[in-house]
Chain A
Amino acid sequence: MMAEREEVGTAGGTWAADQALTDLYAGYWHSLVRLSWLLVRDQQLAEETVQDAFVAMHSRWSRLRNQELALAYLRRCVVNSSRSVLRHRTVENRYLSAETSARSAYGTTEEPSAEARALEHATGERLLAALGRLSRRQREVLTLRYYLDLSEAQIADALSISTGSVKAHAHRGLIALRSDVETTS
């Protein structure tokens, strides 16, 4: 049935792309927005990032052609766009000043002050803050692994790095996280 639809030409292809979009949206919109939110810490930017990823996926459907590849493509788009957002955030600090949350240091490259660290008393807060102090790659790997429960191969694909690098980033990330949490506790 699916193969038939895709071979009936542009209109059928468009329909198949619409259908794929509807299905993937139903299944993954929430988790992808939340993934982006964990990386950029701004709900609106996260939604826009994932929205654009879906639009890009739709236009490439004829090359992706199955949901698994499409989902992998969406993940790559979301991670990469979230990273671009972060990269520019360090330049455009007006967003930082606009953030009122205690978690506003998350995602920046700046070290928070000792007072800020002292305030991170709740375990979750401390762990999140420590995650925010990891290198970008380590944070991405750990988020994909522990939030989305992706395999090393899937993480490697989403970040366009080797599985060896995924292992290394995860390992070093966990060590750094552990030592950070211990020193601040």
Chain B
Amino acid sequence: MNTHDKFPDDLEHRLREVLQQEAARITPRERRTEILTMTKNKTTETPARRRWLIPAAAAASVALIGAAVWGVSNTGDSQQASQVAAKPTSSTAPTTSSTGAATDAPAIVPPPITSPTATSGRSVAGATTQLALPAYFVGASSAAGKTFGLYREFVRTTVPANATSAQKAKAAVAVAMNAQPFTNAEPYLQPWVGTSVRSVAATPSQITITLSGPGASGLSAAQSKLAVQQLVWTAQAAVGRGAIPVKFAIASGEAKLFGTYPTSATYNRPAADQQFEVLAPIWITTPVRDQGFKAGAPVVAAGESCAFEGTTQWQLKKSGATVKSGTATASSGCPTRGTWQVKLGALPAGSYLFRMYEVSMADGKVIAETAKPFTVR
């Protein structure tokens, strides 16, 4: 360095300080579960290449990531976007063929639930990419099946390589409307059976979802309300710009969803302190369903809850027998949704079920519960 690189003032010092302060303005939200889910849903990678190819592969994947994150809708860039998108699909994971070959995946990947949605993707090679999109489902929130709430799943699905937020929202809404692949494992309802999503349009101030029909019949008032909410939450999450009002249109001409909710109105997710009316009281976000852990490695369960005093009970079951149990305290009690964590420690190999439930302070009955199976090998 010559003397011109040395500044007499403390510019460099100030720059360091300002950048640290500026960086500290945000608190990154935890996304470990989402990342793990995305990697579990991913198919096995292609065989290792020669080392000198790594930078090229990195650059190519970066281009794809950029396109996927941004979701370019401007046609002026579409040529460039499709060119860069074509590379990673051939050099990393050929999405169409590899997702079909779910049997290639290591045993650690849970294929039965993700594959039906993955294979329903478009067959056009090179123009699509896979994204893990959050989708909400209406599920029973207690064993008695009398109360319901929304549960969130991250589902890997095929979208155009340069998908706009509206295209992502349409893909996510389509996933959310098809609960069937989950019904063997989860107590999810199918309020949209027989109905499909025709289109989704998104502006900064409104999301419009056009459905083929008004939804299934025979649902209770509480269930149909949640069915509308699940699409609102799913579309808003995919668009990623907060609680934008959602409007519905019904292609078959009806004026009301489920005969109750007029298409002339707009719908939104409730304010934070009212969300307990919509979301299931307990979510388990880790382990994800059928996640595999290495024997000897500590297993930590985590999730969210909205329970009295933030207190919930848990059980760890192996082959139906409870091997561990305890109480979890969430970061806050209802009506604020809190997060909880349970350290299960290192576990011997086997199939497990982690169950989390809330007991009524009034009569000792279980008023909310959910469970996730996982394995240790």
Contacts and interface: CB of A to CB of B under 8 A. Distances in A.
A77 B58 contact: yes
Interface in B30-81: 31-32, 34-36, 38-39, 42, 44-45, 48-49, 51, 54-55, 57-59, 61-63, 65-70, 72-74, 76-77
Nearest to B377: A11
Contacts of B38: 51, 55
A56 B14 contact: no
A38 B294 CA distance: 37
Contact of B11 (A25, A52, A178): A178
A98 B55 CA distance: 35
B36 A18 contact: yes
Given A88-B70, A88-B77, A80 B62 contact: yes
Interface size class of A (residues with CB under 8 A): 35 or more
B16 to A, nearest CB: 4
B74 A81 contact: no
Interface residues of B, number: 63
B106 interface: yes
A11 B105 CA distance: 10
Interface in B76-120: 76-77, 92-93, 106-108
Contact of B28 (A47, A55, A131, A146): A47
Nearest to A40: B69
B273 interface: no
A11 B42 CA distance: 14
A55 B35 CA distance: 6
Contacts of B93: 59
Given A60-B45, A73-B58, A80 B66 contact: yes
A7 interface: no
B240 interface: yes
Given A25-B32, A160-B55, A33 B77 contact: no
Contacts of B17: 124
Nearest to B74: A91
A103 to B, nearest CB: 8
B20 A52 contact: no
B67 A84 contact: yes
A15 B376 CA distance: 12
B20 to A, nearest CB: 7
B365 interface: no
B5 interface: yes
Contacts of A94: 204
Interface string A63-80: 110000000010011001
A10 interface: yes
Given A14-B106, A14-B108, A51-B35, A147 B19 contact: yes
Given A84-B70, A174-B7, A147 B23 contact: yes
A97 B66 CA distance: 21
A44 interface: yes
Given A88-B77, A147-B20, A58 B39 contact: yes
Interface in A16-55: 17-19, 21-22, 25, 29-31, 33-35, 37-38, 43-55
A150 interface: no
A171 to B, nearest CB: 6
Nearest to B29: A47
B12 interface: yes
Contacts of A17: 39
Interface in A74-125: 76-77, 80-81, 83-85, 87-88, 91-92, 94, 97-98, 123-124
A92 B45 contact: no
A30 B5 CA distance: 31
Contacts of B4: 171
24 contacts: A11-B108, A14-B106, A15-B108, A35-B23, A45-B69, A54-B35, A58-B35, A60-B45, A60-B54, A62-B45, A76-B62, A77-B62, A80-B62, A80-B63, A81-B65, A85-B66, A87-B66, A88-B74, A91-B77, A92-B70, A94-B204, A127-B14, A147-B19, A160-B59
Interface of A: 10-11, 14-15, 17-19, 21-22, 25, 29-31, 33-35, 37-38, 43-56, 58-60, 62-64, 73, 76-77, 80-81, 83-85, 87-88, 91-92, 94, 97-98, 123-124, 127-128, 131, 142-143, 146-147, 160, 167, 170-171, 174, 177-178, 181
Given A56-B65, A59-B39, A63-B48, 12 more contacts: A14-B106, A14-B108, A25-B35, A33-B28, A37-B28, A47-B31, A51-B38, A54-B35, A80-B66, A124-B21, A171-B4, A178-B9
